Structure 1
Amino acid sequence: MGTRHESHDGREAHEQQTAHDGHGHGGHAHSHAPSADADRRYLSAALALLVLYMLAEVVVAFATGSLALLSDAAHMLTDAAAIALALWAIHLAAKPANARLTFGFKRAEILSGLGNGITLLLLGAVLLVEAVRRLVDPPQVEPKPVLAVALAGVVVNVAAGMLLARANRTSLNVEGAYRHIITDLYGFIGTAVAAAVIWATGWMRADAVATLIVVALMFHAGAGLVAQAGRVLLEGAPDGTDVEAIRAHMLEVDHVRDVHDLHVWSVTSDLPALSAHLVIDDECFHDGHAPRLLDEVLECLVGHFDVDHSTLQFEPASHAAHESGLH
């Protein structure tokens, strides 16, 4: 029978913890990331900024009877909702694990990123239909108030974007909210350019053309978020991970004869996990070398690939006949 080893037993547990804190082997990938508390502050400040601007737009929209301003306020509401969803996901991810959810709610941020990606795609589809309609039959647009609101929106979204850029954008959750803000920023820039063109030339279709450009950016951002979230939810190897390189490194460790059933996936952003069966020399089970061999393999995984959470099963060569199937 094989011998199963976890990377978080005894000293390995200490190494895993220090790696997450940026002091252990391979901790460099985590050492400069803002904390969850910092992320909350940045997201909360951006949310407050967007909500205040949105409320001001609603007041002005009703005061002037402008449907365009009211529609833009509705768009800002989706950005605020994206940030609120990101904050809720951070709150859930901080909850401790339990017997039913052994990793806790770590994947809440992935679901948040997926939700933000889908929202961008749906909103982009709605705007695409409206832009095509206005391209065919352009309505009259009063450029001066549109330009003023668009320029104010640029300032607000730049400020919100700068706040979110300081948060941990390696988190798919934060990245989803950030992309909402950036696409909205592009939207305001496009609106400002279109308003200036209409003001200067009277070409009303400029508004629809600017919207189509923004829709393309929304589709790109939304599709990227959905693809990244899908990779995690389908237990795919983290982006940029070379599974064969990991296998080759483990095979370079003395006494390791074969590596099979190698799986690499992400529990959530910045938390890659690995499991593998390692065939080792039979004498390692008798001369007490197996624990030292475990340390060497784990040091290889953490030091070269920044994989902190590993589950390894050591097997003698004779155990291969008892495997139910290699996968």
Structure 2
Amino acid sequence: MGHSHDHSHSHAGHGHSHDHVITDSADARRRVAIAAFLTFGFMFAEVIGGVISGSLALLADAAHMLTDAGSLALAWLGFKLAERPADQHRSFGWARFKILAAFVNGLALLVLAAWIVFEAIHRLMAPEPVMGHVLMGVAIAGLLVNIIAFTLMHGGDSEDLNLQGALWHVAGDLLGSVAAIAAALIIIFTGWMPIDPILSVLVALLIVIGGVRITMKSAHILIEGVPAGMTPADIKTDLESHLENAAEVTHVHAWALNEQKPLVTLEVVAREGACLDTLRVAVKQRMDEKFGVSHATVEVRKPVQ
């Protein structure tokens, strides 16, 4: 039984796409770094404002921003390591580290939301007076800082899970500032203190949505889940129906290195008389054109006599 094995990978047009990924990563890294500095810097203003006003809301949000600054730093590290080349111990380099960073950030969002709800319940049970005008001033300043950070982050790659995880942390800060402004207005005009923890719970629920989304998508990649837009059955059916010299497609495995790089391995049984090398090239071209897979490991073998 003759075999043609291919463990090399098509690089036609790959040079451009690789440069594009590196460029995107560098751009996202810069965006995350600036957002981290803005978040960390304003945290000190919130601590001062919280101490002066007696606002637990501001002190709690300062802790929130400290957590977010750490998450943004982790996201930055993910991008930085992902740019490192492959070596003898990591044949794909550190490309998947940013998916791990996204997963950790997704979990951090869920923990943060739970903490906000816990604090809100505590404040409802034991409300404390707050200086509404000081709360208002710091909250407005925080809103401006968060709008800048959110706009900066939102301009990045919408498909990058690491960037999206960082973006949701900034969005949580922005929503927290909006809630603080609303709480300050109500406290100033009505003196009703429970509004602060009530609005905090609403913000926490929105943070949960982002946390669940980021965690599930990154976990799917980490457990070698099949990328969106394809299944082994889809690949098998498509190749067998579009390539006349492919008698049977078997042992199809599809997963992803990260959200931008799907990987596939498969075995093809050629029809009698077919050129194995020509069929191998045809399979790789079809995988690239139909499924966007530029990195496929294909084994082609002759039919059993």
Instruction: Note the 1:298-317 alignment, pairs <5 A.
Output: 298-317=284-303
Structure 2 CA distance, aligned partners of 1:52 and 1:178?
Answer: 17
| 1:13 partnered with 2:11 | yes
Q: Which runs of 5+ in 2 are unaligned?
A: none
Is 309-318 or 110-119 further displaced after alignment? 309-318
Structure 2 CA distance, aligned partners of 1:310 and 1:17?
Answer: 16
**Residue of structure 2 equivalent to 1:282:** 272
Cα deviation for residue 234 of structure 1 reads 0.7
Q: SS at the partner of 1:99? A: coil
Alignment counterpart, residue 183 of structure 2, candidates 194, 202, 207 = 194
The answer to whether the 8 A contact 2:229-2:291 is kept is no
The answer to whether the 8 A contact 2:270-2:279 is kept is no
Q: SS at the partner of 1:283? A: coil
**Residue of structure 2 equivalent to 1:264:** 254
Cα deviation for residue 110 of structure 1 reads 0.9
Structure 1 CA distance, aligned partners of 2:67 and 2:196?
Answer: 21
Structure 1 CA distance, aligned partners of 2:127 and 2:61?
Answer: 18
Q: C-alpha offsets along residues 89-109 of structure 1, whole Å, 9 cap, x if unaligned?
A: 111111111222111111110
The answer to whether the 8 A contact 1:121-1:218 is kept is yes
Q: SS at the partner of 1:282? A: coil
Alignment counterpart, residue 294 of structure 1, candidates 275, 280, 285 = 280
Paired amino acid for 1:145: V
**Residue of structure 2 equivalent to 1:26:** none
Cα deviation for residue 205 of structure 1 reads 1.7
Structure 1 CA distance, aligned partners of 2:5 and 2:195?
Answer: 65
**Residue of structure 2 equivalent to 1:159:** 148
Structure 2 CA distance, aligned partners of 1:192 and 1:200?
Answer: 12
Q: SS at the partner of 2:257? A: strand
Alignment counterpart, residue 184 of structure 1, candidates 173, 180, 195 = 173
Paired amino acid for 2:6: H
Structure 1 CA distance, aligned partners of 2:108 and 2:8?
Answer: 39
Cα deviation for residue 246 of structure 1 reads 2.4
Structure 2 CA distance, aligned partners of 1:145 and 1:101?
Answer: 52
Paired amino acid for 1:261: H
Structure 2 CA distance, aligned partners of 1:234 and 1:314?
Answer: 28
Q: C-alpha offsets along residues 150-174 of structure 1, whole Å, 9 cap, x if unaligned?
A: 2221111110011112222322111
Structure 1 CA distance, aligned partners of 2:27 and 2:54?
Answer: 40
Aligned residues between the structures: 303
CA 214–276 in structure 1, closer or farther in 2 if over 3 Å, else same: same
Is 217-226 or 197-206 further displaced after alignment? 197-206
Cα deviation for residue 68 of structure 1 reads 4.0
Off by >6 Å, runs of 4+ in structure 1 = none
Paired amino acid for 1:291: D
| 1:84 partnered with 2:84 | no
Q: SS at the partner of 2:253? A: strand
Cα deviation for residue 7 of structure 1 reads 5.2
TM-score for both structures, normalised by structure 1: 0.85
The answer to whether the 8 A contact 1:6-1:312 is kept is yes
Structure 2 CA distance, aligned partners of 1:313 and 1:228?
Answer: 30
Paired amino acid for 2:4: T
Q: C-alpha offsets along residues 40-74 of structure 1, whole Å, 9 cap, x if unaligned?
A: 22222222222222233334445666554333222
Paired amino acid for 2:171: I
Structure 1 CA distance, aligned partners of 2:26 and 2:302?
Answer: 47
The answer to whether the 8 A contact 1:92-1:106 is kept is yes
Cα deviation for residue 245 of structure 1 reads 2.7
Structure 2 CA distance, aligned partners of 1:283 and 1:47?
Answer: 61
**Residue of structure 2 equivalent to 1:111:** 100
